[in-house]
Amino acid sequence: MKKKPVLLLSISQLTIGLIVSLLLILFSITGSFKGFYAIFSGVAGGLQSDSYGFFSDIAGNLNFLGNITSIKDENDMLVDENQHLKSENAELKLKILDNEALLKQLNFDLPYKLEPVRVVRYDENQPGEILINKGSESNIALGAVVVQGKFAVGEVIDVQNKFSRIRLLTSPKSTVAVMTMKNGTKGILRGELGVGLTLTEVLTEQKLEQGEEIITAGVNSNYPYGLRVGEITEIETVQSELTKSAKIGNDIPFAGLHNLFVIMK
């Protein structure tokens, strides 16, 4: 017996296919696909625009972060350069001060060989004593006198390799033989920390004048003759005493010394 041929599509399926085909032809003729294309293009274009904006924002943020890192690196470099410049500036200021002090000292023209030194510390445990930045390596000797201009400041009482200790005139332990420049009246200059300098042991009959200049006498001490120590600001006399005293004014800033000179032996 012959087999009946099998229909691949049913009549209903063929009918639906025919209708769809006719609709496609009709839409194509009338241009209806342009609307669908426009809608699809709009949606796709919007997605493309949003994607572009999103990834552009990411790229912008990455660039911003990169710029922050670059700015931080530049800022760190500028901070280092600024610290270096500050250090150089401080060193230059010290050199300028040293040169100014040296020129000022040369103008006084003391008849001694002088060694420039710098104060590095005030000794809180020993009032009236300071440390300078040079010692035996620079030929600083025990007993050497320290000056500023033509004014006596103190004397070396201890010497180490790289530093020395100075006892100032204002130290309570300091005693120096002095005399008045005008009348030659002799006495002892004593330090009174916090008060200043006092001329003592002047015989009552000896003449003292207010404003008279006091100089080192050059006897019984390491201080050479003729260094200035100040001038008389006030004379104190007690009738029952055999001696009198006087307050001595001095323009040397003993509380803030910086550049000094040591008279070399």
Handedness of CA 147, 153, 158, 160 (dihedral sign): negative
Confidence of residue 108 (pLDDT cuts 50, 70, 90): very low
Instruction: For residues 34 and 45, give the distance between their C-alpha atoms in angstroms, rounded to a whole number.
Output: 16
pLDDT band at residue 6 using 50, 70 and 90 as cut-offs:
very low
Q: Which two tokens stand for residue 164?
A: 């020395």
- The rounded distance, in Å, linking the Cα atoms of 210 and 253 is 22
Reported confidence tier of residue 229, pLDDT bands at 50, 70, 90: very high
Higher local confidence (pLDDT), 13 or 172: 172
**What is the mean predicted confidence (pLDDT) over 99-122?**
72
Tell me how far apart the alpha carbons of residues 173 and 39 are, in angstroms, rounded to a whole number.
106
Q: How confident is the model at residue 202 (pLDDT cuts 50, 70, 90)?
A: very high
Distances in whole angstroms, Cα of residue 93 to Cα of each of 87, 112, 133, 256, 258? 10, 27, 17, 17, 13
168 closest CA partner among 140, 139, 189: 189
CA dihedral 144, 146, 149, 151 (to 10 degrees): -100
What is the average pLDDT across 88-106?
Answer: 59
Higher pLDDT, 93 or 180: 180
Q: What percent of the chain has pLDDT over 70?
A: 66
**Mean pLDDT over all residues of the chain?**
80
113-265 belongs to which CATH class?
mainly beta
Long-range pairs, 11-16, Cβ under 8 A, ≥24: none
pTM score, two decimals? 0.60
Average pLDDT of the segment spanning 123-152: 94
For the chain, the 3-state helix, strand and coil shares in percent, each to the nearest 5, are 40, 30, 30
Cα dihedral across residues 125, 126, 129, 132: positive or negative: negative
| Mean pLDDT within 32-39 | 53
Q: Over 90: is that where the pLDDT of 260 sits?
A: yes
Mean pLDDT confidence for 255-264: 93
Token output for 201: 């042991």
Q: Are 122 and 238 in contact (CB under 8 A)?
A: no
Asked if 232 and 208 count as a contact pair (C-beta separation under 8 A), the reply is: yes
Which positions ≥6 away from 150 have C-beta within 8 Å? 108, 110, 227, 228
